[in-house]
Amino acid sequence: MIRRYGLTACVVIVLLSQLTAYRAQNQEISSSLPLKGAFQNVHDPVLIRQDDSYYIFHTGLGVPVKRSVDLHHWRIARGTPVFRRIPKEAAAHVPGATEIWAPDISYYNGRYHLYYSVSTFGSNRSAIGLATNLTLHPAADDFEWTDQGVVISSDFSDEFNAIDPNLVLDQDEEPWLAFGSFWSGIKMIKLDGETGKQSQRDTTLYSLAARADHPRAIEAPFIIRHRDFFYLFVSFDQCCAGIDSTYHVRVGRADAVTGPYVDRAGVSMLEGGGTQITFFNERFRGPGHNAVFYEDDQHYIVYHAYDTVYVGTPTLQIQRLSWNDDGWPYIAEFWDRG
């Protein structure tokens, strides 16, 4: 009896030890933040923090905004959407547009800069506009979005598409704007630090990434600086088809903000290169159009995916972004697939 109980106790100890190890392993592997509240019907999200509040801006009528105090519980922010209607200058350039797409929010030069895009599906008659605000808190006395007009536009005769803007500061804290969707790929322009508009001293249209094969499905650039490199995240393949979407995020890096960007295999992103870092799973399809957020020594990747349980509803995803020893980003759940 003593031996039997002793053996049972040993087995229990071993099982408890294995269970503890299993839980620890899965806590380490799981990088997804559990989300509650208003995190569905979120498309093309971008995340920023002011004081104790996190804000998600995303595609929709007038640019909808969600707010959280902990990155987990989300609700519709007061004072939103940003616009009651499409701003006048952008609307004049793109007749027939109904929504504002793919906003980008950042803070520099004492103001919040909201870059937004106006277009219609499948067309490159598009415009990127800019709105500014001194605060993101709707209850503040100085809360007021001011539209600054169009920053750059494209038309049927152009080889690029002026949507999906993203502002990035270079090593000298100078602002640049990456953008682009399909056509000839991802582009970049230099910005004037005072106005947030295109620089008049450097009017070059830089090329960052492209795919040669039809339909040239590359878009939604987001650039961050990490250690000695600039990292360009882009989305490949088909968006906006619900659970049939094949969207996913890829990345490359460069020594300079204007490139050249290459992937982990050394393939140029101007020649279709890009290391894949998001993958679909049984529930969520088309994980793409990402942003990256950083605080407390932790990077987070933010994107949308289509929920098969809820008939393909675009759903907010926030995951911890890790870095390997060679300085490449990855998401823990997808590490063995990259």
Pick the more confident residue, 132 or 12. 132
Mean predicted lDDT score pLDDT of the chain: 91
Pair 154, 198: CB distance under 8 Å = no
The pLDDT of 261-286, averaged and rounded, is: 97
Pick the more confident residue, 162 or 26. 162
Which pLDDT belongs to residue 334? 83
Is residue 13's pLDDT more than 50? no
The pLDDT of 97-109, averaged and rounded, is: 97
The pLDDT of 176-189, averaged and rounded, is: 98
Is residue 11's pLDDT more than 60? no
Which pLDDT belongs to residue 107? 98
Which pLDDT belongs to residue 155? 97
Which pLDDT belongs to residue 26? 38
Is residue 9's pLDDT more than 70? no
pLDDT interval class at 31 (50, 70, 90) = confident
The pLDDT of 170-194, averaged and rounded, is: 97
The pLDDT of 218-242, averaged and rounded, is: 98
Which pLDDT belongs to residue 23? 37
Give the CATH H-level superfamily of domain 37-337: Glycosyl hydrolase domain; family 43 (2.115.10.20)
Pick the more confident residue, 327 or 14. 327
Pick the more confident residue, 19 or 94. 94
Is residue 21's pLDDT more than 50? no
The pLDDT of 290-318, averaged and rounded, is: 97
Q: Three-state secondary structure along the chain?
A: CHHHHHHHHHHHHHHHHHHHHHHHHHHHHCCECCCEECCECCCCCEEEEECCEEEEECCECCCCEEEECCCCEEEECCCCCCCCCCCHHHHHHCCCCCCEEEEEEEEECCEEEEEEEECCCCCCCEEEEEEEECCCCCCCCCCCCEEEEEEEEECCCCCCCCCCCEEEECCCCCEEEEECECCCCEEEEEECCCCCCECCCCCCCEEEECCCCCCCCEEEEEEEEECCEEEEEEEECCCCCHHHCCCEEEEEEECCCCCCCECCCCCEHHHCCCEECCCCCCCEEEEEEEEEEEECCEEEEEEEEEECCCCCEEEEEEEEEEECCCCCEECHHHHHHC
Is residue 18's pLDDT more than 80? no
Is residue 245's pLDDT more than 50? yes
pLDDT digits (tens, 9 = 90+) for 311-331: 999 999 999 999 999 999 999
The pLDDT of 233-241, averaged and rounded, is: 97
Is residue 7's pLDDT more than 70? no
Which pLDDT belongs to residue 337? 62
pLDDT interval class at 333 (50, 70, 90) = confident
The pLDDT of 285-290, averaged and rounded, is: 98
Identify residue 57 by its one-letter amino acid code: F
Pick the more confident residue, 174 or 5. 174
pLDDT digits (tens, 9 = 90+) for 66-90: 999 999 999 999 989 999 999 999 9
Which pLDDT belongs to residue 30? 54
Which pLDDT belongs to residue 28? 39
Q: What residues are annotated to the active site?
A: 44, 219
Percentage of the chain surpassing pLDDT 70?
90
Percentage of the chain surpassing pLDDT 90?
88
